[in-house]
Chain A
Amino acid sequence: MNAPPAAVAVVFGGPSPEHDVSILTGLQVARTLAGAGREVFGLYWSKTGGWYRLPAGLEAADFLDGVPSAAEELRLSVGGAAGSSGFAERGGRLGRNRPVEIEVAVNCCHGGPGEDGSLQAVFDLAGINYTGPGVAGAALGMDKLAFAGLVVDAGLPALARRLLGPSTSDPGFPGPYILKPRFGGSSLGIDVVADIGTAVARLEANSHLRQGAVIEPYRPDLFDLNIAVRLWPAPALSAIERPLRSTASAEILGYADKYVGAEGMASAPRELPARLAAPLAEAIRSAALEIARLACVRGVARIDFLSDGQSWFVNEVNTVPGSLARYLWVEPPVSFLELIDALLDEARQRPTWRPNAMGADGSVLRGAGGIAGKLG
């Protein structure tokens, strides 16, 4: 019996605060591809780490009570004999697992593993071709401190951002401050504090900051400006968006502002394209392209800036943005199918990983003698 033809798998969910948003992104992508007659299936990663193949046509509500009842459990394995890596289902001959062939995996996992390089690493090792950032690009985008360092080193403007530790007494700029988890793609755990003493106390009390925290000047006068960028098939930029804060009292654009709308940010209040002075818009566009190259962008990334209308600062990069930032591509318009097709094409043409064992030809081993001799 021949294996079924390889299909595109849309991967979403995952143990992340943005698990639910990822479901919305994934369902949109799967629906768009299926609507165009492509061979596609949903590959759901549950919050507790299980993998499931989904039937077509599911709605967001089917995930309200957890794993949809029609989902079929798969196994993901790495290594072993040739051909045994990757996804497999039960039901092969003699009780063996049957491989599930995946041509390309469309990564729609936001905010946690999937946007931080860990899922990418497993896919690389399992030989699965996928869209979006590779290990390095994803990990860099998830590390606010490393990303800011890269930006400043390239001579681009950014607000001061320092590592906050229990013994930090002066970050080098005056308060009020904003504290953020160093790693993490959502606005969970963000705190605004008046002075450095409170900041250090929060470090103790706020477990979201336990894996590392960065401190920045709190600048309520600045607003957000977002732009999407891709490098394949050719470098291209979306329109610039200015998200609007839904409540006057909201101190920063919060998780609810970003995601409570039904389609990621598609229905959040915003100005698109943002009405900006031409020099500001141009500066942001050219910075976005430069960052895309610096930060190893693959797929579509959304780069967030801060501005007061005159000056501007690079804030962060989202390497797997909500809805894959499809709503930003209005000028010139790019359809969602076109966008996804470019991602698939890039995944086929631009591999993320090239294992290389050149030079490991045994000569070192032959000349080494006994291990005990090396220790002595």
Chain B
Amino acid sequence: MTALRFAAVAGSGLAMALAGLRWLRVAQREHYLAGAAGRFAWRWWSEGPLAIGGVALALAGVGLAWPWPGAGLATAVVVGAGPPGLGLRGRTAPLAWTRRLRTLAALVTGLELIGLATAVLAGVGPVLAAALALAVPLLVDLGCAITGPFERAAAQGHVNRAAERLRRVAPTVVAITGSYGKTGTKTYLAHLLSGSRSVLASPASFNNRAGLARAVNENLVEGTEVFVAEMGTYGPGEIAELCSWLVPDIAVITAIGPVHLERFGSEQQIVEAKAEILEKAGRAVLNVGDPRLEALAQSGEQRGQKVRRVRPLLPGDGPDLAAGLVAVRDDLDGLTLFIDGAEQARLAPGPHPANLACAVGVALELGIPVEEIVRRVGQLPPVPHRLEPLTADGGFLVLDDTYNANPSGARAALQALKRSGPTTGRRVVVTPGMVELGARQAEENALFGQAAALVADELVVVGLTNRRALLRGARTAAAGDRQRPFDVVVVRDRSEAVAWVRAHLGPDDTVLYENDLPDHYP
């Protein structure tokens, strides 16, 4: 082996180590789902001329390494440097060396070493080493696919313990799912119940199998009467599995929307995955504002399930008189709560109507008297990071909606921005756009950009992920007959956006932070 061949193989090996760290972090952020690293690699390497140029150079390096082994070094340099903007350690979420990550890292390193050794022994060292370096995201995905079943088996012990604890404490289990509105509904429900019941709500980030098992094992104190569990899903069968040991007494579906669409394929599949929550529940609370959930309500009733229908109403809608229905009407200057068609309370604007309707529906199912609900509904707590109003040091108002990632919530946020702050002040929207909307992502972001341009004086577009779509939408609106001047600012990442806001806003101004993407997104 010549020195050049050796250098090419060694360089590729080093590049693999660096790329390994980078894509392991992405895998960790994406819950170790096989396929995520590859998908994100595609996203990063196809954004911007620098990345595309880099990947072209790396591919050329692989091809040219056959006649000229030294060309493999070009691939190694590109892979080692990584796509521009994707840091090695990460700012928002550094790599955490958990046991699971260490296992995965060891496996991926093993796969890489086997690949390298095979390549060298077969006499195609430089070419295959360069190709392997470029393929590290796929190796990480392969590692996730291999370790997945073992990890599930290992977590079974925690799940068994949780199931045992649930049997012993025997709380009434309220399970909430939905494409959005889960956390809001859970927060409102916990508030409505807390005056009369000892209630435990699962933490927002604990909405999968491992997280809910942990929430039960660590937080389900003896004497807890109601356990409110938020159930998330990334694919079919997941909620059914959760419900096999965390059996809901009352199941709630808040909304169906295009969230995680690229993992599900279609909205119909999302409906089916969410409907798994109803299978074992004796009672259901459904937001029948969505006809697909009304269909689930009817099929539930045919099976003998007790269904409580709830829905949001639009301004000007009359109260819906269906017996048992809980409706919350958005009157723009406030909300009106109807139960059985009778007006029960008027509230200040802020709470999300559909989420509140779901929470009130569950509270009624749990036997909380209407007077008690009405009394507590006037003091609903803000949901953290969901349009939570804060005053910044600079005196301007901040609407923190950074945990919102769905089109309908984003539109509601713009309405809130329109209502907030004095009319003389400026209104600014800061957003990286929304993700995981599949084929509809560009269109939804363009629509949001357009809607933002009609409400805001400035739109600050963060990062590359949705830049084009947001700008296109904003331009469509700006081309129309706007009364006010409108500006678009483009920044690279969140910290640049925050710096821009601090430098440009003062008292009377309002900024809406709409969604936030962790830094493994371009």
Known interface pairs A48-B165, A66-B214, A201-B369; A207-B197 also in contact (CB < 8 Å) = yes
The closest CB in chain B to the CB of A66 belongs to: B218
Q: Identify which of residues 391-434 in chain B touch chain A, using a CB-to-CB cut-off of 8 Å.
A: none
Instruction: Identify the A interface with B (CB < 8 A).
Output: 15, 46-49, 65-67, 188-189, 191, 201, 205-208
Listed from nearest, the 10 A-B pairs whose CB atoms lie closest are A66-B218, A206-B196, A15-B221, A207-B197, A47-B221, A47-B219, A205-B196, A205-B369, A207-B225, A48-B218
Docked pose: A188 CA to B225 CA in angstroms: 14
Max chain A C-beta neighbours (<10 A), residue from B194, B196, B368: B196
12 contacts between A and B (CB under 8 A): A46-B218, A47-B221, A48-B217, A48-B220, A48-B221, A188-B194, A191-B195, A205-B367, A205-B368, A205-B369, A205-B372, A206-B195
Type the 1/0 row for B216-244, where 1 means its CB is closer than 8 Å to any CB of A: 01111110010000000000000000000
Q: Please indicate the chain A residues that have their CB under 8 angstroms from the CB of B222 in the complex.
A: 15, 49
A205 to B196, CA, bound (A): 6
A67 CA to B196 CA, complexed, in Å: 28
Q: Mark B350-371, 1 if CB is under 8 A from A, else 0.
A: 0000000000000000011100
A66 to B203 CA separation, bound complex (whole angstroms): 10
| Additional pairs, 14, CB under 8 Å, beyond known A15-B222, A188-B194 | A46-B218, A48-B219, A49-B222, A65-B214, A66-B218, A189-B195, A191-B195, A205-B196, A205-B368, A206-B195, A206-B196, A206-B372, A208-B195, A208-B198
CB distance from A201 to the nearest CB of B (A): 7
A268 to B226 CA separation, bound complex (whole angstroms): 31
* A65-B202 Cα distance, complex, nearest whole Å: 11
Q: Which residues of B contact A189 (CB under 8 A)?
A: 195-196
Residues of B within 8 A of A208 (CB): 195-198
Q: Give Cα A207 to B194, complex, Å.
A: 10
Q: Cβ of B219: which chain A residues have Cβ within 8 Å of it?
A: 47-48, 66
Q: How many A-B residue pairs have CB under 8 A?
A: 40
Q: How far is the CA of A46 from the CA of B369 in the complex (A)?
A: 33
Give the complex CA separation of A208 and B214 in angstroms: 26
CA distance A150 to B194 in the complex (A): 31
How far does the alpha carbon of A189 sit from the alpha carbon of B199 in the complex, in Å? Answer: 12
Residue of B165, B195, B220, B222 contacting most chain A CB atoms (<10 Å): B195
Q: Give, as a whole number of angstroms, the nearest-CB distance from B128 to chain A.
A: 39
The smallest C-beta distance from A189 to any residue of chain B, in angstroms, reads 7
Q: What residues on A are CB-neighbors of B194 within 8 Å?
A: 188
What residues on A are CB-neighbors of B369 within 8 Å?
Answer: 201, 205
CA distance A47 to B217 in the complex (A): 9
Give residues of chain B (181-210) contacting chain A, Cβ–Cβ below 8 Å.
Answer: 194-198, 203
B221 engages A207 (CB within 8 Å):
no
Q: Which residue of B lies closest to A190 (CB)?
A: B195
Q: Kindly state the separation between the CA atoms of A66 and B165 in the bound complex, as whole angstroms.
A: 16
Contact A47 B196 (CB under 8 A): no
Considering the chains assembled together, what is the distance between the CA atoms of A206 and B195 in angstroms? 7
Q: Which residue of B lies closest to A69 (CB)?
A: B98
Closest CB in chain B relative to A119 CB, distance in Å = 15
CB neighbours (8 Å) of B220 from chain A are 48
Which residue of B is nearest A112, CB measured?
B221
A307–B179 CA distance with the chains assembled, in angstroms? 52
How far is the CB of B95 from the nearest CB of chain A, in Å? Answer: 15
Who on chain B is nearest to A67 by CB? Answer: B218
**Which A residues are in CB contact (< 8 Å) with B214?**
65-66
CB distance from B380 to the nearest CB of A (A): 13
> In the complex, A191→B220 CA distance in Å?
25
Query: How close is A258's CB to chain B, nearest CB, in angstroms?
Result: 15
Chain B residues within an 8 Å CB radius of A46 = 218
Q: Which residues of A contact B197 (CB under 8 A)?
A: 207-208
Using CB atoms, name the residue of chain B closest to A247. Answer: B379
With a cutoff of 8 Å between Cβ atoms, the chain A residues found around residue B368 in the complex are 205
